[in-house]
Every structure is written in C-alpha cells, then in structure tokens.
Amino acid sequence: MNSKAKLPAGSRCLVTGAAGFIGSHLSRRLLNDGCRVTGVDCFTDYYDPAIKEANIEGLSKHPDFELIEADLSDIEDHWFQGVNWVFHQAAQAGVRASWGKEFAHYTGHNVLATQRLLEWARHNNLERFVYASSSSVYGNTGKLPMHEEDLPRPLSPYGVTKLAAEHLCGLYAQNFGVPTVSLRYFTVYGPAQRPDMAFHRFIRSILNGKALVIYGNGEQTRDFTFIDDIVEANILAAVKTTPGGRVYNLGGGSRISVNGVLELLKELSGRAVEVRYEPVQAGDPPHTYADTSRAREELGFVPQTSLKEGLGLMLDFFKQPGC
Ligand code: UGA
C-alpha cells in the first residue's frame, strides 16, 4: 500500500457524516485527490457541534465541496444528484452511551438512516457504496484474532445497530445490485478524534495536568487504527472490484492494552500521569484484534502508521493553539 489509491479526477463523491472525525479527514483527502465532494451532516449534539464546525471549516471554503445540513432519514430523491461514489460514515457513535433511552438515536441514525440511503442508492447508478462498520459487531468472540467469518455477537446496543446496518448493505447488494462494501473499523484514532474516545480524553487530561479515567484494570486490548490508514482503505474499497456486500476488517496492527497506551503517552509527553480507575463499562468488549488478511489480499490494505507515530501526531495536534 505504498502508492496511494485514487478515484478518477472529477469523481462525484458523497460523504455522510462529513463534519465528523473520520468523515472530515476522508472529505479532505478526496478533495485533495481532485474529487468533488458533497458532504451531509446533521450536527447532532452527542458532542459539542462546534467541534464539527471546526472539523469542516477548511473544507467549506473549497470550491469543490458542498455541505448539506440534513438528517439522512429525511432523504429526498433529488438530493445528491450526479453522485457516483458514496462513503457512508454518518452514525450515532459511542459504544458505552448506547444504553437506555438514548438507543432511539442509535436506531434512527444507524439503522433507519442507512436503510433510507440504501433505498436512494438503489435508484441511482453508483460505482460503490462504502459503509463504515465497526469492530463492535463482534462482541466477545472468545477467539482472537477476529475474522470476518466469525459469528458476530455484539455486546452493546451500538454494535447491534452497526451490525443491522451492515446486514442491510448485504441485502441491498443481493436484491438490487447496490455495490456495497462494509469496512469494520477497529478503534480509530488520530488528530481530531472524537472527544468521547479514550486517546482524546487521555491526552487532554495529561496536557491539563488532570487525572484520567481507566475503565476496569486497563488490561483490555484494542487493535487501534490510525485515521490515515482508514481513509486510504476507504479509497481502496471504492476503486477495487469486489463482490457486492463484502465485509472487511480494518485493524491497525497495533493491538495493545490501555495500560500499554498510557506507558507510551508518558514517554511521548514526558509528563506524569495520574490515573483513576472506574468499573468496567457495560458494552465494552475485553479485547479486539483484527485478522486483516482478507483486506490485505483483496483490497491491498496494509496499515502504515505505528501506534507510537500516530500518538505522536495526535499529541502535536493537541498542542496547537485553539485545541
Ligand atoms: C471505538 C469507537 O468509539 C466506536 O465508535 C467504534 O465503533 C469502535 O471503536 C470500534 O472499533 O468498533 P472503543 O473501542 O470503545 O470504541 O474506543 P475508545 O473510546 O477509544 O476506548 C478504548 C478503550 O479505552 C475501551 O476499553 C474503553 O473502556 C477504554 N477507555 C475509554 C478508558 O479506559 N477510559 C476512557 O476515558 C475512555
């Protein structure tokens, strides 16, 4: 994966969730590659919408970027005319927050919105429909690494909705030929990471000299994946011809415990770290670890960024004025 994948110049792309962490990075890359990007986002208040405004500030000034502020559940036929490639990144994120009455946001933004977009896609002649799925579809498989053929058994309501939407992508591929591909992201990190996620919270606490919180004993592991590798994988999935409905794991190859991450952060920041331990959170799987052989063989996906390098880039980002 040394030479970067590219869509044909002038390609018309739709990025849903364009103001989010992953959607904004992907939109920037597509514009840099000479594509025209329609971004859609409904600026929910799961976290401060000002963060999303900041994510797209630069994009909005680009002549080939158009933003539609809307909820995908309200999609109308005339939206997104001329679009050939869809990158469906929009979702109600957050594993631990998906219990209780909040679940309605998860079914609405993850399941219903995806179904509406697939209905639209069914009547439009797309080159590719890339769906951002999640490692949280696996749950506690009891077997590592996790393979695409393992039976998914999500542990969180969030994971249930991501899996339901992935199944919808499969159904629309089988029944109507929508060229879907689902990418199971494993805990994505990097500059502009969402503020509810571990690395963002850890780095902010360290730089502010505050105690950070670890859920459980910190021995849970994640196969953390750097944002640029995820962006590259989206483009690879768009340009490669693979059967409709295919599913791929995207892990960074940087599986490590949360305690291990803290050691790296101490080393990189040169600061002391105060830790407060809190109970394991419902919905959190003990471990994730991606078998990425399918993505490597069929898409040419090879993650390029080590955890140490990626964390260093994140720390630099947080040290910028205004962060
Ligand atoms: C992340 C994303 O939030 C999901 O949207 C995504 O779908 C998922 O990755 C995925 O890979 O499927 P998560 O793995 O929980 O979910 O990511 P983090 O919030 O970065 O948490 C990583 C680990 O750190 C978890 O074990 C969590 O319990 C722990 N953590 C998190 C803490 O110990 N303290 C914190 O303050 C935050």
Give pTM, 2 decimals.
0.98
State how far the Cα of 223 lies from the Cα of 235, in Å rounded to an integer.
21
CA–centroid distance, 227 to ligand 1, in Å, is 15
Q: Which CATH class is domain 12-186+225-251+285-303?
A: alpha beta
Cα 300 from Cα 236, distance rounded (Å): 7
For residue range 241-253, what is the model confidence (pLDDT) as tens digits? 999 999 999 999 9
Beta strand 188-189 with 254-257: parallel, antiparallel or unpaired? Answer: unpaired
Q: Which residues are catalytic?
A: 158
User: Inter-axis angle of helices 21-32 and 227-239, to 10 degrees?
Assistant: 60
Whether 321 shows a pLDDT value over 60: the answer reads: yes
Question: Ligand 1: which of 136, 220, 224 to mutate, judged by most atoms within 8 Å of the beta carbon?
Answer: 136
Report the SS3 class of residue 181.
strand
- Tell me the average pLDDT across 73-81: 91
Model confidence at 50, pLDDT cuts 50, 70, 90, reads very high
Which one of 156, 186, 222 would you pick to mutate in the ligand 1 pocket, going by the greatest count of ligand atoms within 8 A of its CB?
A: 222
pLDDT surpassing 90 at residue 254: no
Ligand 1 centroid vs 259 CA: distance in angstroms?
13
| Average pLDDT along the chain | 96
* Index of the ligand 1 atom closest to the CA of residue 214: 33
